[in-house]
Structure 1
């Protein structure tokens, strides 16, 4: 499992537009990249959850893009019309696969409904309402000043000036509540058409209702972006119960994968006391042992963690992710040579995982043994075909080519590292340097030219 920022200019601009409406501000600085979690095991699970929903909704084509956000809150959202972002908290707190699938079905409804594009239009309309309201308010204040303020408008000036943005925000939030309700209804349709129950969706909203009961009593129902959880339960529960699939249950193998994913995330992102509360010593289940292996790796004795990983492997010898976690423990303990056998085994069991191949390539490079550099380059290049934006893969590739004395390929890989880390200036400089060493017109030279040109295109 790895952690890195996710950068999306569109997501940033959409957020900026929303905040601009709420504050009547003309501009907003771009937020930093979202903290995302990359993990083959959990991403494959989420894709398996999303794929039938996308097919039912007629969206996504061959691509099922799900991104995990390193955030403890129970949330999921659509940010660019193609990807579903799911918080780690939503995965850990979904007690069954069906609960999480219900959340993802709702977000699929947003994608199929084109809600993000329509939200941008609604934002633009709300901004116009805000500006008109402020201009009208300013005119009223000016009129009051011209009469010497005897009408009392002067005292009311702040409220008059804020009326436009307030009306605009209420209009926008009303629109959003309507879209949320539409996505709820669409979600139930997708679940029905895929033979799945909407019970988990109802149970999720009921749990949120219990958690937000006090806040809901204090909330202005016209100043929230989502329908109240109680209203959502009331609206969708009859539809859910009317389905012939309402009492359908998750297959046992899906439940097992779900529980392991929850345990893995908890082990990697929660505090040690929270992990122990979630998986007390009395819990000897496989998910609990998985979480404790990672807990020991992060907070305790890494030698003991490797031994716990061996115990996992004995339980499921053909589980690639148990071999992966052992390899990661050894690699990050400073034992890259010992990490090679479990990582090679993990790759053989999960040959389509670019992330595991990158870890193997990293371990090969970290051995410092020049005899395995060709293997490292081969594994890294295969990995990057599946993970073409993985900065760490290019970083390790740059080191490997540098040790072989291939300056052109080393600079090109370093340029791509900088590019996918968001440093376009450094990427451009390294790409130019790579071109000086690579044959003109070769694939590497052309890729370097693409990087140089990308900066120019962004400036135009």
Structure 2
């Protein structure tokens, strides 16, 4: 009887501790499909992804993780935040939009790279395991005292047992938070090292921490520094300022070309997430600059007259004729104007001009070709979408367009397999298995389509 009481009490204590602790530890096995299943608002945009990768590339090289297959995933969230999960780095669109210079967001990337290079997640899991053990041991000791108190009819002993259990769990939690704060400071110092190694300023990091400190001061909130997983902003500034200012690159500014790309990225995010007036407010000091014009064109496309949007994008193209993303926007406007043939021409130009060969642009090209609707355009759509998926295998939307193209061509086995793939990479595993089973019956055993369908059927759905 006593053993059962102890076991139940310890189990409850461990579960309570786990509920508080798992929020700070993310499994390295997590995939994009799992995040999609969890309804994480992932953003896909060729222009923004290309710029962020350009920011990250030299930092990853300096951190020694350039060949580690690190993916950068954008999250549609207005809060200033970034985090890592295994070999994936997640950056909120709010962090990109609030960073007024490239250097500010590069500092964020450098900090997160410090976590990856330092193996902090693996060590955090070890610390979590130790903390769980501490909580369980405290729970067992406390439960033993409670049972002993009950047996001897000693209320004081039973009360002390409850205090032991609760105190042990709290001590374990505080120990874990202290460990996390240490790792955050280590990542900050690593970031300074990476920035200096790549001849970049550390000023952006200080600007970010000063922004955090200002927001905290304005909120009027009182925060116990021992109850949070990150050091307080003023402490981070104090720890870094002297080291940062010693860098010979501290006062180095971002190049005008990079700053312009950054401003255009911010304009795009603002137009799509903050409503009509956001871009005009953002660029009120330079209302006639290219970034402001880009924001205005996007606003007109989203909320205004498509004819006016078309005229404005042509003006942008005249100023930067080799910009693939202006051609992409032109294609978007033409698609919305129900002119798919002309849109296909614009997307084809975007694909041709794209220096990084994004998978997103060929998929948009394929979508326009599907809308044209002729047998020849549908065959071309399959080729273009497959080209895009070869570069961007986990693009669930791409598979859905591929299924549509195959369906209109009458190729039902391939259409069902593409539907299975789209559901699979969208995190809808059960639907993926249903369509894979349907597709497999139509393929000859042993063919590539049959084998891929079998892979989806055999996939073990991760536990929630």
Shift of 1:153: 5.2
Map 1:179-194 to 2 at 5 A. 179-194=183-198
Q: Distance in 1 between matches of 2:285 and 2:163?
A: 59
Q: Distance in 1 between matches of 2:462 and 2:41?
A: 24
Q: Distance in 2 between matches of 1:358 and 1:240?
A: 43
2:455 aligns with 450
Does residue 398 (structure 1) correspond to residue 389 (structure 2)? The answer is: no
Whether the 8 Å contact between 2:310 and 2:333 is mirrored in structure 1 is yes
Shift of 1:88: 0.6
Q: Distance in 1 between matches of 2:113 and 2:366?
A: 36
Distance 1:97 1:22, change over 3 A: closer
1:213 aligns with 217
Q: Distance in 2 between matches of 1:122 and 1:209?
A: 29
Whether the 8 Å contact between 2:280 and 2:292 is mirrored in structure 1 is no
Map 1:131-146 to 2 at 5 A. 131-146=136-151
Shift of 1:149: 4.9
2:88 aligns with 83
Distance 1:274 1:153, change over 3 A: farther
Shift of 1:316: 1.2
Q: Distance in 2 between matches of 1:318 and 1:222?
A: 53
Q: Distance in 1 between matches of 2:74 and 2:412?
A: 36
Deviations 1:301-324 (CA, angstroms, capped at 9, x unpaired): 333323322222122111110110
Whether the 8 Å contact between 2:63 and 2:194 is mirrored in structure 1 is yes
1:68 aligns with 74
Q: Distance in 1 between matches of 2:230 and 2:41?
A: 24
Shift of 1:64: 4.5
- My pick for the range that moved more, 422-431 or 48-57, is 422-431
Shift of 1:454: 1.9
Shift of 1:22: 7.4
Higher relative contact order (CA 8 A, sep 6+): 2
1:387 aligns with 392
Shift of 1:382: 0.7
Q: Distance in 2 between matches of 1:185 and 1:22?
A: 26
Distance 1:429 1:223, change over 3 A: same
2:292 aligns with 288
2:7 aligns with none
Q: Distance in 1 between matches of 2:198 and 2:68?
A: 18
4+ residue runs of structure 1 moved beyond 6 angstroms?
none
Shift of 1:300: 2.8
Map 1:336-415 to 2 at 5 A. 336-350=340-354, 352-415=357-420
Deviations 1:394-423 (CA, angstroms, capped at 9, x unpaired): 111111111222222112111111111122
Unaligned regions of 5+ residues in structure 2, if any? 1-15, 24-33
Q: Distance in 2 between matches of 1:108 and 1:281?
A: 34
Could you say what the CA RMSD is over the residues aligned between the two structures, in angstroms?
Answer: 2.6
Unaligned regions of 5+ residues in structure 1, if any? 1-15, 24-28
Q: Distance in 2 between matches of 1:148 and 1:357?
A: 76
SS at match of 1:77: strand
1:328 aligns with 332
Deviations 1:275-325 (CA, angstroms, capped at 9, x unpaired): 443245971211112112222222333333233222221221111101101
Whether the 8 Å contact between 1:47 and 1:65 is mirrored in structure 2 is no
1:306 aligns with 310
Whether the 8 Å contact between 2:177 and 2:227 is mirrored in structure 1 is yes
Deviations 1:202-258 (CA, angstroms, capped at 9, x unpaired): 121122112112668611111111111111111111111111222222122111111
Whether the 8 Å contact between 1:34 and 1:69 is mirrored in structure 2 is yes
Q: Distance in 1 between matches of 2:446 and 2:141?
A: 61
Q: Distance in 2 between matches of 1:75 and 1:424?
A: 29
2:30 aligns with none
2:437 aligns with 432
Whether the 8 Å contact between 1:74 and 1:93 is mirrored in structure 2 is yes
1:94 aligns with 99
Shift of 1:138: 2.7
- Of 264, 268, 275, the match for 1:264: 268
Whether the 8 Å contact between 2:286 and 2:292 is mirrored in structure 1 is no
SS at match of 2:43: strand
- My pick for the range that moved more, 179-188 or 159-168, is 159-168
SS at match of 1:440: coil
Does residue 245 (structure 1) correspond to residue 227 (structure 2)? The answer is: no
Q: Distance in 2 between matches of 1:46 and 1:282?
A: 24
TM-score calculated relative to the size of structure 1: 0.88
Distance 1:382 1:62, change over 3 A: farther
Does residue 42 (structure 1) correspond to residue 48 (structure 2)? The answer is: yes
Deviations 1:8-49 (CA, angstroms, capped at 9, x unpaired): xxxxxxxx99634379xxxxx998232111111111111111
